[in-house]
Structure 1
Amino acid sequence: MSPGDEQGYSDYAETGHTRTRLPDTDPYGGAPRRPNRSSSRSLVTVVGVVVLLIAAIAFANRGDDSSADDASAQTDKPTSSATSASGMRPVEAKSAGVPTGFAQTEQGAQSAATNYAVALGSTGMFIKDSRHRLLGLLYTPEAVDRLQGPMDQAYSTDFLAKMGLDAAGNPPKGNTFVSRVIPVGATVQQYSADSAKVAVWYVGLIGMAGSTSTDPVTSSWKTWTFDLRWSDGDWKIDSETQQDGPAPVPGDDKAATSDEISKAIEEYGGFTYAR
C-alpha cells in the first residue's frame, strides 16, 4: 500500500516521479521476501483504505511467508476492451497536481479511479499536510470525516520510523523513499449516472533507495476497487477495498544497484492515465 515516495510532497509532480528501485533479488522473480500479512491486515482494519499503506507495513515487517488463497485475489474478469483507448480527449485540469474534471461516463470513471490510485499510492500520503489535501480532493466529504482521523493515527511516528522516515515523513539525507502505484488496467464492474465501481489492477513499489538503505525497494501486485460517487462535478471516492494479485509469473530480470535506482528515480516522471 511515495501507498506508497514517502514524502515531502506538495504537488503531484513530486508524486509523479517514477521512483523505482529493484531489490537485491529480482522483485519479479527469484525469492522475494514475503510480507507479514497479519500486520498488514490489522493496519488496514484501522485505516480502511490506502493500499500502499498495506504494502508499507509489509515492507517494514517482512518475515513470515504466507499467501492468500488464489481465489481471493481475483476480480471480475474485464472485457477485452476494458482499457482500450476510447478516443476521448484526456482531462487537462489538475488540482494540487492531480488530474480532475473527469467525464460523467464509464470511461471517465475508469480514468478517475486509476489516477486516484496513483495519487494515493504516492509518497505524499506519508506527509500529513499533503495527505489531508489528497483526502479532501479525492474523497466525498462523508468519507473524509470517516477516514482522516484513523489515517493520521495509522501514519504514526512509530510507523514512519519503521519505514526509515522521520516524524515529518522525510527520508534520511542521501536516501530516497519510494512509494508508487503503476496501473496495469482498469475495469468498470458497476455503473450508473451518479455512481460507479471500478477495479484497478496495479503493481506497487515501496522501499528506500540509497547507499545507507538496508531495505531495498520491492514490488507487489494488487487490485484496488473503488466505489465512486458523482459529486460536485467530478467522481469522488466513497469507499474502497483492496486485495492481493493477480500476480504474473516472475521473470529473470537482473536487479539494479542502489545508484542505478536512485538515478532512475530522478530521471523518470509519471503520467496521466486516460481511458
Structure 2
Amino acid sequence: MSLGDDTGRTRTRLPEGGGDPYGGARRSGRSSSRSLVTVVGVVVLLIAAIAFANRGGGDSDGEEGGGGDSPKAAVTAPSGEKPVSAKEAGVPAGFPHTRQGAESAAANYAVALGSGDMFNKARRDTILQSLIVPARIADFEATLDKAYTPEFNKNVGLNEDGTTPQGLTFVSRTSPIGTKVTESTSDTATVEVWCSGLLGLAGESSTSPVTNTWFTITMQLQWTDGDWKIVTHSQKDGPTPVPGDKRASSADEMAKAVQEYGGFTYAR
C-alpha cells in the first residue's frame, strides 16, 4: 500500500512478515500424496544408485588451481558455436575439446541419462557405453542394473519388465536450464547442469500422473578418445522455483504433447 506524506513524496508499506518468498508462497494442492511418495522414492533410489556407482571413482586429474582452462564465473548464454552434427547411440557426440564443448556435452548427457530409454536394459547399456569412460562402464552398468528393478518399475507405474501399460504414455524427460563449469584443466572438467524433469504416466487410467521436478546434476568429464566422457555423476534437488497456479493439463493433452514435441541438441 502506498502512503503520501506532507512532503509530497510517496512511501510504500511492505507486507508484514517478509522474508523468503519461497517460504510463504501458496502451494498447489493438486498433487496426490501417492504421486508425491512415488516421486520421492524414485529420486532417492536413483541418487543412492548413482552415489554407489561413484564410490572409489572420485579421483580427478583436474585439481583446483590446475593449468589450462581455469574456471570463471559466468552466466549461461549462447556462445554462437554450432551444435554437433554427429550422434553415437542416438546421443549427440563429437563435442569440441574446449570448456564450452564440455558444457554442451554435460547438457546433452543429462538429457540422455534422464530419458525413458534408461528403463530398457539394452538401450541403457548402449547409452552408458557411449557416454562413460571405458574404465567405469562396467561399474555404471552393474549399479544401475540393481537400481532399475521390477519393484522400481512398478513404483513409477510401469510393468515389472519396464514396459508401459497398455493405453498409457510413459514420460521421462530431462530439460537442461543452464550449465556451469566449477573446475577444469585442459583434459578434465566438472560441470553442473541445472535441470527440470518430467516423470510419470499420461493417460486416463494412470495412478502415477506426470509430475515436474527440479534438480542439479554434477558430472566430472574427461577428454577420452576424441570426446568428453563421464567419469562420475551425482544429483541433488533444486534450485526449485515457486510453483505456479496454472491448471494442470488433462491426461490426453499431456500424452499428445509428449508424442508430438521432440527434443533438442544443446550447445553452450
TM-score (norm 1): 0.75
CA contact (8 A) 1:49 1:241 kept: no
Aligned to 2:123: 130
Provide the rounded CA distance (Å) in 2 between the counterparts of 1:110 and 1:136: 20
Instruction: Tell me the distance in 2 between the aligned counterparts of 1:266 and 1:230.
Output: 35
Structure 2 residue 243 is matched with structure 1 residue 245: no
The residue identity in structure 2 corresponding to 1:45 is: A
Is 2:47 the partner of 1:44?
yes
Pick from 155, 160, 168: which aligns with 2:153? 160
Q: Does 1:210 align with 2:203?
A: yes
Q: Which moved more, 1:252-261 or 1:121-130?
A: 252-261
Instruction: Quote how far apart the aligned CAs of 1:197 are.
Output: 0.4
1:271 aligns with 2:254: no
Structure 2 unmatched ranges of 5 or more: 1-25, 54-71
Aligned-residue offset at 1:94? 0.6
**Residues 42 and 152 in structure 2, CA contact (< 8 A), matched pair in contact too:** no
- For 2:164, give the aligned amino acid: P
1:189 aligns with 2:187: no
Give the Cα separation in 2 of the matches to 1:248 and 1:104: 33
Alpha-carbon distance change, 154 to 38 in structure 1, aligned in 2, over 3 angstroms: closer
TM-superposition CA deviations, 1:174-232 (whole Å, max 9, x none): 10111110111001111111100000001111000012101110011100010001100
Written as runs of structure 1 = structure 2, the 5 A alignment for 1:91-110 is 91-110=84-103
2:78 to 59, 81, 85: 85
Equivalent pairs counted in the alignment come to: 220
Q: For each residue in 1:16-71, what CA deviation from the matched residue of structure 2 results, as whole angstroms up to 9, or x when unmatched? A: xxxxxxxxxxxx95134544757743553344379xxxxxxxxxxxxxxxxxxxxx
- 1:229·1:236 contact (CA, 8 Å) conserved in 2? yes
Please say if 1:199 is aligned against 2:202.
Answer: no
Distance 1:186 1:83 in 2: 6
The 1:97/1:39 distance shift into structure 2, 3 A limit, reads: closer
- Give 5+ residue unaligned stretches, structure 1: 1-27, 51-77
Q: Is the Cα–Cα contact under 8 Å of residues 47 and 235 in structure 2 kept in the other structure?
A: no
SS in structure 2 opposite 1:254? coil
Corresponding residue of 1:226: 219
Change (3 A) 1:42 1:272: closer
Q: Is the 2:50–2:234 contact (alpha carbons within 8 Å) kept by the matching residues of 1?
A: no
Distance 2:262 2:222 in 1: 30
Whether the aligned pair in 2 keeps the contact of 1:29 and 1:253 (CA below 8 Å) is no
Contact 1:176 1:209 in 2 (8 A): yes
Identity across matched positions, percent: 46
- Partner of 2:64 in structure 1? none
Residue identity matched to 1:198: V
Deviation of residue 88 (structure 1)? Answer: 1.4
Inter-partner Cα distance in structure 2 for 1:251 and 1:142: 44
- Identify the match of residue 112 of structure 1 among 105, 111, 130: 105
Alpha-carbon deviation of 1:162? 2.2
- Backbone CA RMSD of aligned residues: 2.1
Contact 2:52 / 2:143 at 8 angstroms: preserved in 1? no
